Amino acid sequence: MAISVQEKFSIPYGKQTINQSDIDKVVEILNGPLITTGPQVMKFEEALSRYTGANYAVAVSNGTAALHLASLALLEEGDKVLTTPNSFLATSNAILYVKAKPIFVDICEDGNIDLDLCEQYLQKDPTIKAIYGVHFSGNLLDQTHLKALKNRYKVMILEDCAHSIGAENLGVKAGSCAFSDCAIFSFHPVKNMTTGEGGAITTNSKELYEKLLVLRNHGMVRKSDVAPWYYEMHTLGFNYRLTDIQAALGISQLSRLDKFLEKRRAIVKRYHRLLEETPVKPLYAFDEGSA
Ligand SMILES: *Cc1c(COP(=O)(O)O)cnc(C)c1O
């Protein structure tokens, strides 16, 4: 039977790298007593906060859940949020989930939101509450510019790092939240590392961190001083928990992330070199710090 061209040559949308060590770690958890949120999730959160440099990390069921919880914590109904039209739909949907209002700001040639235009919006309208920026395809937004906007306009900043875990700009690591209130990550298989489905939020704010923990778990607050089983519901929350099965995969993947990045960078470099003599031009200049 003839093989069609498509069968011989197809470029997958994405392809994860899973090795035997990843599999062993997951099997170990499957054979143990706890498979949902337990010690592996805590270890994964510690590893994420160490890797990004942020004080706190909260692991959740996917990147969209991370955006939803961050939006519940940062925004109120009717708030105006500057965001980018060049992203996966989840970034702006999260603003709508909490009945806030996305305002789409045009992008620069590198695919990222134009921070000069953001500044014009902020000058004209001081009621704008937040900027939801996306480090598109691994290129970080200019961190000095973010810092200036944060200081000048006291605006909330959320960094969508779904494409950019491991990226660096001017010595600032993606998700360290040096000049932002929080950052979100996705561990869908198409991203730089995977947990199957999964996501996380990083922040340096203890208050935000504590809010997120409650929102991730049905709005429940345990009061073990009353009784070990006693809890109260303090707010309308969700079940956005990650499992220990996924977290074990996440820990294993994160330990190899820098190798994944090295390989991606080598591939990008190769594209840039080989396309040089062709009419096809890469969309962005090569950036060592991109993820
Ligand atoms: C993938 C992605 C998300 C959503 O992540 P999920 O884990 O698929 O829910 C959000 N923002 C951007 C920029 C993404 O690429």
- Average pLDDT over the chain reads 95
Query: If you measure from the C-alpha of residue 100 to the centroid of ligand 1, how many angstroms do you get, rounded to a whole number?
Result: 19
**Number of neighbouring beta carbons within 10 Å of residue 222:** 14
The answer to whether the beta carbons of residues 159 and 175 sit under 8 Å apart is yes
Return the pLDDT at 176. 98
Element containing residue 74 per DSSP (H, E)? helix 63-74
The answer to whether the beta carbons of residues 187 and 193 sit under 8 Å apart is yes
Classify 275 as helix, strand or coil.
helix
Integer Cα distance of 205 and 182 in angstroms: 8
Distances (CA, A) of 239 to 20, 66, 216: 31, 12, 6
Best residue among 64, 135, 193 to mutate for probing ligand 1's pocket (most ligand atoms within 8 Å of CB) is 64
Rg of the chain, C-alpha, whole Å: 20
Residue 128 identity:
I
Best residue among 69, 91, 93, 164 to mutate for probing ligand 1's pocket (most ligand atoms within 8 Å of CB) is 91
Closest of 287, 53, 278 to residue 173, by C-alpha: 53
Q: Which tens digits make up the pLDDT trace of 98-133?
A: 999 999 999 998 899 999 999 999 999 999 999 999
Integer Cα distance of 111 and 142 in angstroms: 12
87 Cβ below 6 A of ligand 1 = yes
Query: If you measure from the C-alpha of residue 135 to the centroid of ligand 1, how many angstroms do you get, rounded to a whole number?
Result: 12
Residue 9 identity:
F
Please identify, by atom number, the ligand 1 atom nearest to the C-alpha of residue 199.
Answer: 7
Phi, psi of 203 (to 5 degrees): -160, 160
Query: If you measure from the C-alpha of residue 246 to the centroid of ligand 1, how many angstroms do you get, rounded to a whole number?
Result: 17
Residue 218 identity:
H
Return the pLDDT at 3. 58
40 Cβ below 6 A of ligand 1 = no
Could you tell me how far CA 231 lies from the centroid of its own chain? 30
Return the pLDDT at 65. 98
Query: If you measure from the C-alpha of residue 63 to the centroid of ligand 1, how many angstroms do you get, rounded to a whole number?
Result: 5
- DSSP 8-state symbol, 173: E
Structural tokens at position 246: 């996924």
188 Cβ below 6 A of ligand 1 = yes
Does residue 211 surpass a pLDDT of 80?
Answer: yes
Best residue among 84, 186, 201 to mutate for probing ligand 1's pocket (most ligand atoms within 8 Å of CB) is 186
202 Cβ below 6 A of ligand 1 = no
pLDDT band at 14 (very low <50, low <70, confident <90, very high): confident
Return the pLDDT at 5. 59
Integer Cα distance of 27 and 203 in angstroms: 31
Q: Which tens digits make up the pLDDT trace of 267-290?
A: 999 999 999 999 998 888 888 899
What is the value of pTM for the model shown?
0.95
